[in-house]
Amino acid sequence: MAQDEAAAAAAAEPVVSLPVYVSASVPPSSRLELFQYPLYARGRPLPVPATAAQRGQRVTSRWRPHANRVEMEIPLDMRETVYNHDRGMEWAENSASMGVIPTPGEPTVKQEDRAMDAPSRFDRMRLESHAVPNATHYMVGTVRDGELHLVPLDAVLQLRPSMQHVDLMSQAEDQNRRMPTSDDEGDAQDARRAHVVPLNVSMRTEAQARTALTPRFGAQASSGLATQRDAEAERWVDLRFSEAQGADQLLAQQREPLACTTHIRDLF
């Protein structure tokens, strides 16, 4: 028993003590956000296949500042051994309305041509951001020369694959199934020739009834829909994506060490 207590006490002892500084190096006009990629390997750059790099493709991104939404496009590996070209043509045809995320600095004409012309293959995977709720105040830390520098984060976003192309594909398949045959077209024409009697009907849905009974719920729902509409109407800002390391910019310029008021044993 005494040996276990001694081992626990030894494990609770700090390995090293570092002075901690809070950095204010990020300008007020800028934002520092942490991007998480749950489906990609940690500590590695986003994968850009060699074949995509040879085609001149790169990671592109855009941002809606007020809604704080980020989208990225990552080129796909289109080698015959790993890519279904027939299926890729179907995806490209049905997801043409999604357009592409341009690279800042490209000529305007080139960007318009890329947005209007559907790619012959579905050659990009789009990622969209999902905000991580703030359970506390998050910071990012940098250890340099025996010092720990902390910088407050404005937000934490997880970027996951967008399923918009799947929805568009499903909609196209549903429309194809609903297309009338020759017999159905004849029946539809006969129905249009029939006498039409105008009829006004007022229907009250369950959601409307619940809204009428609970005004607070109705106000919250209306506010949420308005926020969603405003976010969708906001214009995208094209960003230049870079894997450059910028840890030096996060170091504190003024050395004012922080004093820890929590006992080391209270941390475990």
DSSP 222-265: HHHHHHHHHHHHSPPEEE-------GGGGS-SS-------S-GG
Question: What is the model's pLDDT at position 183?
Answer: 58
Q: How many helical (H) and strand (E) elements, i.e. helices and strands, does the chain have?
A: 8, 9
Question: What is the model's pLDDT at position 252?
Answer: 85
Tell me the CA distances in angstroms from 80 to 46, 52, 55, 84, one per residue in order. 22, 13, 15, 7
Could you list the pLDDT tens digit for every one of the 268 residues in the chain? 556 666 666 666 777 888 888 888 888 888 899 999 998 888 788 888 888 888 888 999 999 999 999 999 999 998 889 999 888 888 888 888 788 888 887 765 454 454 455 457 888 999 999 999 988 889 999 898 898 889 999 999 999 999 888 888 788 778 778 776 655 555 555 555 554 455 555 555 555 555 555 665 555 556 667 666 777 889 999 998 887 666 788 888 877 767 777 776 776 6
Question: What is the model's pLDDT at position 195?
Answer: 46
Question: What is the model's pLDDT at position 248?
Answer: 80
Beta partners for residue 73, in sequence order: 60, 126
Please answer whether residues 70 and 159 qualify as being in contact, where contact means their C-beta atoms are separated by less than 8 angstroms.
Answer: yes
Question: What is the model's pLDDT at position 55?
Answer: 83
Question: What is the model's pLDDT at position 17?
Answer: 84
State how beta strands 124-131 and 69-75 pair.
antiparallel
Question: What is the model's pLDDT at position 4?
Answer: 65
Question: What is the model's pLDDT at position 5?
Answer: 64
Question: What is the model's pLDDT at position 115?
Answer: 46
Strand (E) positions, the chain? 20-22, 33-36, 60-64, 69-75, 124-131, 139-144, 147-152, 155-161, 237-239
Cβ–Cβ contacts within 10 Å for residue 45, how many?
9
Phi, psi of 138 (to 5 degrees): -90, 145
